[in-house]
Amino acid sequence: MDHFELRNGVLHCEEVPLPEIAAAVGTPVYVYATATMRRHVAVLRAALAPLDDPLIAYAVKANPNGAVLATLAQAGLGADVVSGGEYRRARAAGIPPEAIVFSGVGKTAEEMALALDGGLYQFNLESLAEAEMLSAVAASRGQEAPVGFRINPDVTAGSHAKISTGAAENKFGIAIGEAAEAYARAAALPGLRVRGVAVHIGSQLTSLAPLATAFERVGGLIRTLRSAGHAIEVADLGGGLGVPYDPALPPPPSPDDYGRMVCRIAGGWGVRLVFEPGRLIVANAGVLLTRLIRVKPGARHPFLVVDAAMNDLMRPALYDAWHAIDAVEPRGGRTIANVVGPVCETGDTFATAREMDSVAPGDLLVFRTAGAYAAAMSSTYNSRPLTPEVLVDGDRWVLVRPRQDVATLIAGDRIPPWLGITGS
């Protein structure tokens, strides 16, 4: 359920007609529904209710807008961060340090120091070399950093290759076969308190089976580590649960199914469980609102050239991702078309031979399920300013990121004085 619905023939976000936002802010623009985010938090919390005090740490990289983070902070979520920038954004949005997990394969000494100074729940470490660096940083400040190791359980996630992270050949985590040795060496380091295990095998998972396999392996590892004398108090089961993009495909497992599986496998581990959902919380809470610029004839189907492009929504170009495309004020007919942006790349194609609402130049359209890994991945390629973002709550809405202007883009450049160009 996503709170983007037709009312009297006009697509609304909650109580707000989307043409009102397009008229005030222009297009393209991302629009997020507060009600959808709150609903997803409630559904996940209910699914995990049998567990004792789980920590739900929202994966900030899915959508790091401060208004989104503040909404989720108010709903009681923590944060999973993967950079110093995300750590600072989470704190700025009011997420308490004791609810922040720091993940990522390349944390620098500066980022470690930032999080140690500000406080956090746990670092998830991905290598022994990283453990040594963190120990040195923490010990030099007279601290003991709470840590878990991210385990690479060697399972194939069955999602797109670019978002699978738990196979042996991926860069993430410590091979499960080498974990016992890594824990023994890390436990001897002065600046660490080794108390957790973590796993995250990929994103947009549409089956519970690989997750269940990974969790079983983590459970086995916890037993091995405990019998070697390590006090394991935390197990971080990552994120990854898929969301429905294409209504023609079978829906991914529900949060309830996921919760039951987790309780069955991990409910008896005697640890605090941590979850790092990203996409599940925000994907369906957002749309990218765009306007049709013109229709250009094509060899087989016409090209609908919209004012959003791959720099605004990169997922189709990067992952061959499918987004539903709907008219904001449907005219009634259906058509088959290619939907493309203005960027000078063939990859700037949102849909090929798509059966969709008939539209005419000037009409508004939405790309649905664009709340996650969408605005977060945008760039200024082709010197297109970053897309604005709007947050709706009931019948009110507010611009939570203004449209960048081209002057700002140009002002960021520095022309070497020896070129003698003054500009205008």
Q: Which is nearer to ligand PLP, 145 or 151 (CB)?
A: 151
Q: Which helix (H) or strand (E) holds 348?
A: none
Q: What residues contact residue 244 under an 8 Å CB cut-off, 6+ apart? A: 251, 252, 284, 369
Q: Which is nearer to ligand PLP, 101 or 288 (CB)?
A: 101
- Does 280 help bind ligand PLP (rule: CB under 6 A)? yes
- Does 276 help bind ligand PLP (rule: CB under 6 A)? yes
The single residue listed with the structure tokens 């369906």 is 284
Q: Which stretch binds ligand PLP (CB under 6 A): 59-67, 86-94, 182-190, 284-292?
A: 59-67
Beta carbon of residue 205, minimum distance to ligand PLP (angstroms, whole number): 7
CB burial readout 382-398, b (16+ within 10 A) else e: eebbbbbbbbbbeeebe
Binding mask 216-245 for ligand PLP (x = CB under 6 A): ----------------------xxx-----
End-to-end CA distance of the chain: 50
Q: Which is nearer to ligand PLP, 206 or 404 (CB)?
A: 206
Q: Which is nearer to ligand PLP, 191 or 278 (CB)?
A: 278
- Does 315 help bind ligand PLP (rule: CB under 6 A)? no
DSSP-derived secondary structure for 163-231: GB--STTSSSSEEGGGHHHHHHHHHTSTTEEEEEEE---BSSB--SHHHHHHHHHHHHHHHHHHHTT--
Q: What string of H, E and C letters represents the secondary structure of 279-304?
A: HHHHHHHEEEEEEEEEEECCCCCCEE
Q: Kindly tell me which residue out of 80, 86, 348, 357 binds ligand PLP, with binding defined by CB under 6 A.
A: 80
- Does 55 help bind ligand PLP (rule: CB under 6 A)? no
- Does 111 help bind ligand PLP (rule: CB under 6 A)? no
344 is catalytic: yes
Q: Compute the distance between CA of residue 123 and CA of residue 108 in angstroms, rounded to an integer.
A: 12
Total number of residues binding ligand PLP (CB under 6 A)? 15
Q: Compute the distance between CA of residue 373 and CA of residue 232 in angstroms, rounded to an integer.
A: 33
Beta carbon of residue 306, minimum distance to ligand PLP (angstroms, whole number): 26
344, 411, 419, 421: the catalytic one is 344
Q: Sheet holding 16-17: strands in order across?
A: 4-7, 10-13, 16-17
- Does 54 help bind ligand PLP (rule: CB under 6 A)? no
- Does 62 help bind ligand PLP (rule: CB under 6 A)? yes
**Which among 58, 109, 111 has a CA at the least distance from the CA of 83?**
111
- Does 203 help bind ligand PLP (rule: CB under 6 A)? yes
Peptide bond into 17 cis (omega under 30): no
Beta carbon of residue 274, minimum distance to ligand PLP (angstroms, whole number): 10
Q: Which is nearer to ligand PLP, 288 or 343 (CB)?
A: 288
Using CA atoms in the order 153, 155, 157, 161, what is the torsion angle rounded to 10 degrees? 100
Beta carbon of residue 82, minimum distance to ligand PLP (angstroms, whole number): 6
Q: Compute the distance between CA of residue 232 and CA of residue 303 in angstroms, rounded to an integer.
A: 57
Angle at 23 between CA 62 and CA 89, to 5 degrees: 25
Beta carbon of residue 110, minimum distance to ligand PLP (angstroms, whole number): 20
- Does 370 help bind ligand PLP (rule: CB under 6 A)? no
Beta carbon of residue 48, minimum distance to ligand PLP (angstroms, whole number): 14
- Does 277 help bind ligand PLP (rule: CB under 6 A)? yes
Residue ranges in 372-412 assigned as alpha helix (H):
406-411
- Does 278 help bind ligand PLP (rule: CB under 6 A)? yes
The answer to whether 371 and 282 are in contact (CB under 8 A) is: yes
DSSP-derived secondary structure for 40-86: HHHHHHHHTTTSSS-EEEEEGGG---HHHHHHHHHTT-EEEESSHHH
Binding mask 162-201 for ligand PLP (x = CB under 6 A): --------------------------------------x-
- Does 323 help bind ligand PLP (rule: CB under 6 A)? no
- Does 99 help bind ligand PLP (rule: CB under 6 A)? no
- Does 14 help bind ligand PLP (rule: CB under 6 A)? no
Binding site for ligand PLP (CB under 6 A): 59, 61-62, 80, 103, 200, 203, 238-240, 276-280
Q: Give me the active site residues, please.
A: 344
